[in-house]
Structure 1
Amino acid sequence: MERDIQPLNPVFLELGPLAIHWYGLIIGLGAMLALLLVVRESERRGLHKDTFVDLVLFAIPIAIICARAYYVIFKWDYYSQNPGDIIKIWEGGLAIHGGLIGAIVTGYVFARIKKISFWKLADIAAPSILLGQAIGRWGNFMNQEAHGGPIPEDQIQTYYNLLPDFIMDQMFINGTYYIPTFLYESLWNFAGVIILILLRKVNLRRGESFLTYVIWYSIGRFYIEGLRTDSLMLTETLRIAQVISLVLIALAIVTIVYRRMKGYSKQRYLDS
């Protein structure tokens, strides 16, 4: 296949020594749209409009720090030799599971201080978290990362027939086409956003919208992670994200059952 392919520039704007990267802009856009969605829903559920604005002022920076720390810890062989690269988050390397841990812990502490149900906050936020993740994957696209293995040569034209040229062109890296797993995860997450919003009408028990998010995201992540070539590894054969996904699925299911058995989830999503 003869094509003149030029990768997209990962830098949005350069102002002297300052470079603004698409990666950071796209993650920021995802966070902003997620905040707009969650603020609108929180007001509908009777919370003050500033509740989630106050929360994200703490949750977003803590989530970014935790996402980076998580990634650096599992890549310590490299970063111990290149400590100056630890702060270069614009080059990628934000592990979503680390960010989620930081955000959830922050949300729990915030809920305790504000005397608001953590599960109510988590249920309201669930679709917005997934929306931010769906948009954020396009930052990986601009950096040509979070992709899968090489596409077999006899399947390249099929991919071009199914996907826009700009996606396939960006997945042409050092002379090889790679599977756009960033796109798979983004589409899976967008589908999850729609499902979680529709489930609000089902009036699930309190906490179960958030736990459904955990299960949905983890199922998709487990499968897609198996296709990727840049996974953080626990051992030579165990991918950390797949292990964490299985643990999260099990914990979410056990939590749903336990809360129902103990009567902790009698309130439902639409209860005031």
Structure 2
Amino acid sequence: MMLALNPIFLQLGPFVIRWYGLLIAIGALLGLALALREAPKRNVKPDDLIDLVLWGIPFALIGARTYYVVFEWSFYSKNPGEIIKIWHGGLAIYGGLIAALIVTIVFTRIRKLPIWLILDIAAPSLLVGQIIGRWGNFMNQEAYGGVVSKSFLTSLHLPHFIIQQMLINGSYRQPTFLYESLWNLVGLIIILSVRHIPHLFLQGEVFLSYILWYSFGRYFIEGLRSDSLYFLFNLRVSQQLSLVLFVAAILTIIYRRMRHNKPDYLAGNLAGISPE
């Protein structure tokens, strides 16, 4: 029988690189590269995006970990030494997004950049990071669903290494990490295909479309997971937050469209490139 994949990518003495961290880093770098290609076309300095990422990533990691720890406090209160061990997994995407959004709001105010445009440029990059980052969950054997049969996984025409990695604690599991990764991949393709269509998006609507797409898929995929975070009344935290974000994004689009005074996404930074 084939064993589960090793979560460690490289180990040289005490120096350890885990697949989880490596894949998150790769996703962040590829996402940044994508944003840097788009920024000049929208009259945004690439250096501004790089500075935003340098501030945003550390806070996003802190936010993602804090979110996870808060909703798993029954475990971490008894094992405080585990709180900082993010290499064991336990980074909540929504927590990272909330923290990154706060950093972006502050950063754009200081740099006098249009926040909605910056969020639009960043939206496809967020999807890239999520697409690749979910494979870090795969390597850690987390973000999985309920028990299924091996024949069910085989019927999905999955590669053998995925099927074998879904054998967790003696039972085969739904590969919900894969469902979310593929859902985000489809969303990325759609957004990249349509975001340059003239007059299709007002500034902010590329980002809001990302929120709509991700939250819609996450709501249903979360319902399949067996390792969800829970809140009061045994409600899945991510499902409830997905529902709130989906409704909020729709209402925001409607409200902003009714005001008729928002520039198109393709108009870019109307104030021009920020000074050196």
TM-score (norm 2): 0.93
Aligned length in residues:
266
Residue 20 (structure 2) aligns with: 23
Shift in CA distance, 235/5, structure 1 to aligned 2, threshold 3 Å: farther
Residue 7 (structure 2) aligns with: 10
Aligned residue runs from structure 1 range 115-126, under 5 A:
115-126=112-123
The alpha-carbon deviation at position 236 of structure 1 amounts to 5.0
Indicate if the aligned counterparts of 1:13 and 1:20 stay in contact, CA closer than 8 A: yes
Q: Which runs of 5+ in 2 are unaligned?
A: 269-276
Residue 172 (structure 2) aligns with: 177
Shift in CA distance, 121/136, structure 1 to aligned 2, threshold 3 Å: same
Shift in CA distance, 87/49, structure 1 to aligned 2, threshold 3 Å: same
In 1, Cα distance between equivalents of 2:13 and 2:246? 47
Q: 2:193 aligns with which of 170, 195, 198?
A: 198
Residue 267 (structure 2) aligns with: 271
The alpha-carbon deviation at position 262 of structure 1 amounts to 2.4
Cα deviation digits, residues 20-76 of structure 1 (max 9, x gap):
111000000000000000011001212112111010000000000000000000111
Q: Verify: 1:254 aligned to 2:248, yes or no.
A: no
Identity level (%) = 55
In 2, Cα distance between equivalents of 1:156 and 1:205? 42
Task: Give the residue type in structure 2 aligned to 1:168.
Answer: I
Displaced runs of 4 or more, over 6 A: none
The alpha-carbon deviation at position 14 of structure 1 amounts to 1.4
The alpha-carbon deviation at position 247 of structure 1 amounts to 0.3
The alpha-carbon deviation at position 156 of structure 1 amounts to 4.4
In 2, Cα distance between equivalents of 1:144 and 1:153? 16
TM-score (norm 1): 0.95
Task: Give the residue type in structure 2 aligned to 1:70.
Answer: Y
Cα deviation digits, residues 204-230 of structure 1 (max 9, x gap):
111111000001000010000000010
Task: Give the residue type in structure 2 aligned to 1:201.
Answer: H
Task: Give the residue type in structure 2 aligned to 1:118.
Answer: I
In 1, Cα distance between equivalents of 2:24 and 2:233? 31
Indicate if the aligned counterparts of 1:199 and 1:209 stay in contact, CA closer than 8 A: no
In 1, Cα distance between equivalents of 2:64 and 2:261? 31
